[in-house]
């Protein structure tokens, strides 16, 4: 990243941490905790997700990458794409997006680890 922006790694790290500190201070305004789907939900699409925060699904999105990276992004259908995992609420707002993973098993493994970490 430092070569891309012509700055030292130390400078990039310092500004990244400064921005991250700002986001953390504003988390109450920027981030909203999603509400689980109610038991009395009448929408047929969501009745199976009661007490859940949303629905989880993955999809491939076509990407442009340098020629030497194309083999890493080639799907079983031969397209150059990246795997994106998303969770959305009943009103179709994304509450979790995990972009750029080449293998869905890796995504779900990390997601499972994240859930375990939150329970501790």
How far apart are the two ends of the chain, measured CA to CA in Å? 34
Does the pLDDT of residue 15 top 80, yes or no? yes
3-class SS at 27? helix
Q: Note the pLDDT tens digit of each residue in 61-104.
A: 888 989 998 888 888 889 998 888 888 887 778 888 878 765 55
Query: Looking at residues 9-27, what average pLDDT do you find?
Result: 85
Those residues whose C-beta lies under 8 Å from the C-beta of residue 72, and which sit 6 or more positions away, are: 65, 102
Hey, where are the domains in the chain?
A: 1-31, 36-119
Radius of gyration of the chain (CA): 19
Does the pLDDT of residue 120 top 60, yes or no? no
- The model carries a pTM of 0.46
Q: Note the pLDDT tens digit of each residue in 19-61.
A: 988 888 888 887 777 777 777 877 777 777 777 777 677 788 8
SS3 content of the chain, % helix, strand, coil (to 5): 40, 20, 35
């Amino acid at each position: 990243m430092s070569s891309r922006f012509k700055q030292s790694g130390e400078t990039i790290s310092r500004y990244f941490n400064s921005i991250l500190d700002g986001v953390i201070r504003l988390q109450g305004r920027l981030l909203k905790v999603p509400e689980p789907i109610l038991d009395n939900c009448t929408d047929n699409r969501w009745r199976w997700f009661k007490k859940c925060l949303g629905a989880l699904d993955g999809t491939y999105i076509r990407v442009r990458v340098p020629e030497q990276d194309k083999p890493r992004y080639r799907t079983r259908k031969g397209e150059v794409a990246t795997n994106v995992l998303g969770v959305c609420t009943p009103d179709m707002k994304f509450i979790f997006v995990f972009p750029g993973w080449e293998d869905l098993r890796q995504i779900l493994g990390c997601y499972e680890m994240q859930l375990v970490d939150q329970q501790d």
